[in-house]
Amino acid sequence: MSAVPVDEHDRLRLERVRPPGWRNPAPAERYNLVVLGAGTAGLVSAAGAAGLGARVSLVERGLMGGDCLNTGCVPSKSLLASARAGAEFAAAMERMRRVRAELAEHDSAARFRELGVDVFLGVGRFAAGDAIEVEGTTLRFARAVIATGAIPVVPPIPGLAESGFVTTETVFDLSELPARIAVVGGGPIGCELAQALARFGSNVVLVELAERLLGEEDPDASDVVRAALAADGVDLALGTRLTSVGPTPTGSRLQLEGPGGTTAVEVDTILIAVGRAPNVAGLDLAAAGVALDTKGRLRTDDRLRTTNPRIYAAGDVVGGSQFTHLADAHARIVIRNALFPGSSKASALTIPRCTYTDPEVARVGHNVQSAAVAGLRTRALVQPFDRVDRARLEGEPGGFARVLVREESDEILGATIVGRHASESISLVTLAIQEGIGLADLAAVVHPYPTRAQALGAIADQYQRSRLGPRTRSLLDRWLRWRR
């Protein structure tokens, strides 16, 4: 994470998330909870535990706020909004730094000190199964939580390191818009940034090894995003491998192997967006009896306990899905299980996922392809947005809403929404799945007109109409004819 201020906004942010001259407090004899990492999972854990009266310390080696505030959700979504509005890159970056600095107040070291948390800025590592050492000070604990987040994965591509590149973290340090940029990775972050940079005016080539974008989504959802990126001028190199990189006088030359054979592309900047790995280096986990699995992830049970029952893990460091809202939910589970005789389980969570391209892709639960892999017998009900008034009024009728129910039942197993503001509509289905509300009951929900959420109402009505079998339809027809 960059700690070099660019302007007054960055200076204000750093004053809040890494105050110069900060003095670590004298440690308590023993803490109820020591939190290692001040990203979303760590901040929620520390604030929640302190609010319940626990003695809490929070250790951060980098910047308070972690990935979400400094290099993730906040800067990226600010840039996406500016790109959608047609702003210039320099103005968009200045606005991003300003908004980020404003939001940094919530994650500041001073605020957490006011909440009663002992904030220690420095490198923390385990000294024993019940102790963490930070800058020569030992913090003893009854319970601890590892919330150190994740770091960008950089693939071992020949010549990449020598040619230089930016990651999904350092891309927000760019001072000028690259005229030509290669985005390596067609997952959510790669797609979001490729589209934004193209809208700012970059010539963008997106390189993805798979034959389609957003591989965890259904093909028709991926197709909508692919068409949108292509319409914005993104050159899509799908089913393509980046085999090597070499320097040029002005940038880099990429060797690509794709369906059409070997090609070369010259760019000014390379953005690596192929995923993130748990950040566990330098923690001295062995000293605490905390083990990793074969993939280098923390071994945790369903209560988020590591192999040391005193120590929990939360957020991106756990591996699997890496969302800010999941990190928040993990932290709440840790608080209940670590401070009380709780049995909250991560497997009980219903977690939506969103890709903030334009149009957006939002999903919760199963989609068609994951349900098929799980061997579930499902029925899909679909409402295209070209049949939803709000979408047509806005001139953006592309995309669809789809709900999966268990065959011969109204039990909702999942939903996918593709369209503008899809991320705002998915929560209704998330609630329904979490609370066991069937699709038949959703038919009774009154949606304001006109809204895109009416697509879900239309799907519920489809289900209700499908329940009318031939005999029921015949009786209803006779009744209505009698009433005329």
Are residues 35 and 99 both part of a single domain?
yes
Q: Which residues of 98-128 are buried (b: 16+ CB within 10 A; e: fewer)?
A: bbbbebbeebbbebbeebebbbbbeebbbbe
Residues forming a β-bridge with 146? 36, 313
Are residues 146 and 281 both part of a single domain?
yes
Are residues 147 and 288 both part of a single domain?
yes
Helix (H, G, I), strand (E, B) or coil at 18: coil
Residue 481 lies in a domain: no
Which CATH number does the domain housing residue 113 bear? 3.50.50.60
Polymer length of the chain: 484
Last residue of a domain, one of 242, 274, 306: 274
Are residues 188 and 245 both part of a single domain?
yes
Residue 482 lies in a domain: no
Which CATH number does the domain housing residue 455 bear? 3.30.390.30
Residue 95 lies in a domain: yes
Residue 472 lies in a domain: no
Instruction: Write down the number of H helices and E strands in the chain.
Output: 16, 22
Residue 471 lies in a domain: no
Residue 107: what are its φ and ψ, rounded to 5°? -105, 10
Are residues 140 and 187 both part of a single domain?
no
Are residues 119 and 28 both part of a single domain?
yes
Are residues 19 and 139 both part of a single domain?
yes
Are residues 147 and 30 both part of a single domain?
yes
Q: Which residues of 220-256 are buried (b: 16+ CB within 10 A; e: fewer)?
A: ebbebbbebbeebebebbbebebeebeeeeebbebbb
Are residues 17 and 137 both part of a single domain?
yes
Residue 471: predicted pLDDT: 64
Residue 147: what are its φ and ψ, rounded to 5°? -135, 50
Residue 479 lies in a domain: no
Are residues 255 and 164 both part of a single domain?
yes
Asked if residue 418 lies in contact with residue 361, where contact means CB atoms within 8 angstroms, the answer is: yes
Residue 5: predicted pLDDT: 72
Residue 98 lies in a domain: yes
Strands 269-272 and 180-184: parallel
Distance CA 58, CA 63 (A): 12
**Residue 348 — left, alpha, or beta (φ > 0 → left; ψ -120 to 50 → alpha)?**
alpha
Residues forming a β-bridge with 383? 401
Residue 170: predicted pLDDT: 96
Number of domain units in the chain: 3
Are residues 318 and 369 both part of a single domain?
no
pLDDT of the chain, 484 residues: tens digit per residue: 455 678 999 999 999 999 999 999 999 999 999 999 999 999 999 999 999 999 999 999 999 999 999 999 999 999 999 999 999 999 999 999 999 999 999 999 999 999 999 999 999 999 999 999 999 999 999 999 999 999 999 999 999 999 999 999 999 999 999 999 999 999 999 999 999 999 999 999 999 999 999 999 999 999 999 999 999 999 999 999 999 999 999 899 999 999 999 999 999 999 999 999 999 999 999 999 999 998 888 999 999 999 999 999 999 999 889 999 999 999 999 999 999 988 899 999 999 999 999 999 999 999 999 999 999 999 999 999 999 999 999 999 999 999 999 999 999 999 999 999 999 999 999 999 999 999 999 999 999 999 999 999 999 999 999 887 666 666 656 666 666 6
pTM for the predicted model, two decimal places: 0.94
Contacts within 8 Å (CB) and 24+ apart, 163-167: 163/245, 163/246, 163/247, 163/252, 163/270, 164/252, 164/270, 165/269, 165/270, 165/271, 165/272, 166/269, 166/270, 166/271, 166/272, 167/271, 167/272, 167/273
Are residues 209 and 221 both part of a single domain?
yes
Domain membership of residue 130 as a residue range:
8-151+277-348
Residue 195 lies in a domain: yes
